[in-house]
Amino acid sequence: MKRVGKPVFFIVALLILVFTYVSLFGVHGQNGDNTITYIKGASDIRWGIDINGGVEATFSPDTEGVKATEDQLNSARAIIELRMVNQNITDYELYVDYNQDHIIVRFPWKNDETSFDPESAIEELSATAMLTFREGNEYATQETDADGNPVYKTPTGTTADSVILEGSDVTSAEAQMYQDPTTGTTQYEVTLQLSEDGAQKFADATERLQGQIISIWMDDTMISAPTVNSVISDDRCSITGDFTAAEASDLANKINAGALPFKLVTTNFSTVSPTLGASALSAMELAGIIGFILVCLIMLIVYRLPGFVAIIALLGQIALCFAAVSGFFPFINSFTMTLPGIAGIILSIGMGVDANVITSTRIKEEINSDKTLDGAIQKGFANSFWAIFDGNITTMMVALILMMVFGPTNILSWIFGASTTGSVYSFGYTLLVGNIGNFIMGVGASRLMLKSVSGFKCFRNKWLYGGAAK
């Protein structure tokens, strides 16, 4: 067996313990009476409706007796969904009642909510969307949405100062299909109908900005950044690109939402009581701590030194799960934690325990067959790897399928309905992260630590690895 340096155990163990502490408690500072969060911890997790309660609101178009069209309602729905997804609220329910001109939405409270005021909670969702066409595509911040796509926010520089069109200049937007004259393939585009004033402004802009970008913004979020190919002198233009049918339709809905001839008003709203409540969540936390302690004791009693190393690796896996949910990593946004999400973490931790049990058992079997300690550790790692790999890879594939099918934007939402979207996605996400953590901690870190600690003379006794006492 290729030896690993003795200090490696202490370095890896210390890094895991520090990471566990920071991911659970975060890093906060104080500026006068204000608390500044430098690194988010478990306390920054946003809990779902089923744990922390939330808000239910019904929106209606302010059309003064004129019935809204189905396209207009779909556009309004698209902008409300866009705002929730941009806030990484995955545990939401969103419905459209076309007969009554109602849009019904349920979403969880913010985790640090103290006033529990439904009016202020829905204000940012019901505010009229501001659609703008701007010169260039300069932005201040970049985030990642729930599907892993980049989201560019807050226009800066020339883009912030130069507004070419506003929502009122766009009469309508429609997704259309056309035949590419070069390749003969079917492509999708978004066609815009401009008002008379908007057509004149757009003609002047496209003449000035040929070969340059005119970006499209919804509030402070960039939703598209097409390049001007030619001067557009009439009241119709098209946005082309490598669109799928769903992407073209989604962009058209968002543009229409910013050009709605009405604003949304709140017909009624109410708070939603949590299914479990704070006391039940505390009970779950207590049960989790007790369960983890029992697992640690069993690992120590049955597997001894490999069990101790496995406990440190499990701490790292748990910390990684919380970090991926809370917003600990700047490149991974926080999102709503639901009961199915907690179930995903628990299941992945169970698989982490299983991975360490398989490895420890294989090492114990090799020692009992009179292998040398180094040979037993090496053979135990080799014999256990593919069993762990197969189990985790198949689970990760299922988690990915759940995320793709039940994610905030997907091709099968219309079949399964909005009520299942966020909760199932949350389960798939935490299960995926937990299994990735199992590979990093249970397969990578634990093996490094065990190979390192076995180099110490005081830890060369085979009994410490499950062998018979001598």
Residues of each domain in the chain carrying CATH 3.30.1360.200: 131-258
Q: Is the pLDDT of residue 410 over 60?
A: no
Largest CA distance in the chain: 94
Amino acid at position 2, single letter: K
Q: Output the average pLDDT for the chain.
A: 82
- Of the given ranges (81-85, 139-143, 238-242, 370-374), which has the lowest mean pLDDT? 81-85
pLDDT tens-digit series, residues 416-460 = 544 445 677 888 899 999 999 999 998 899 999 999 998 888 888
CA dist 156 to 141, 220, 221, Å?
A: 10, 10, 12
CATH superfamily of 7-45+277-465: Multidrug efflux transporter AcrB transmembrane domain (1.20.1640.10)
User: Which of 8-22, 234-248, 455-469 is modeled with the greatest confidence?
Assistant: 8-22
* Residue whose C-alpha is closest to residue 219's, from 85, 89, 97: 85
Instruction: Check residue 417 and give its pLDDT.
Output: 45
Sheet holding 264-272, edge to edge: 93-97, 102-108, 54-61, 264-272
- Beta strands (DSSP E) in 285-372 are 336-337
Q: Where in the chain is the domain with CATH 3.30.70.3400?
A: 54-128+264-272
Class of domain 54-128+264-272: alpha beta
Q: How far apart are CA 402 and CA 103, in angstroms?
A: 26
pLDDT digits (tens, 9 = 90+) for 55-102: 888 888 876 666 788 877 887 787 777 667 656 676 677 888 888 888
Maximum mean pLDDT: which of 182-191, 303-312, 329-338: 303-312
The two structure tokens encoding residue 91: 């545990």
Q: CA 108, 111, 112 angle in degrees (round to 5)? A: 130
Q: Is 68 exposed, middle or buried (CB count within 10 Å of its CB: 0-12, 13-18, 19+)?
A: buried
Every domain of the chain with CATH number 1.20.1640.10 lies at: 7-45+277-465
Q: What is the pLDDT of residue 316?
A: 94
In angstroms, the CA 117 to CA 380 distance is 58
Let me know: does 379 contact 366? Beta carbons within 8 Å.
yes
The reported pLDDT for the residue numbered 408 is 55
CATH of domain 131-258: 3.30.1360.200
d(CA 44, CA 227): 40
- pLDDT of amino acid 462: 87
Angle between helices 245-258 and 70-86 (to 10 degrees): 100
Range from 78-92, 156-170, 332-346, 357-371 carrying the lowest mean pLDDT: 78-92
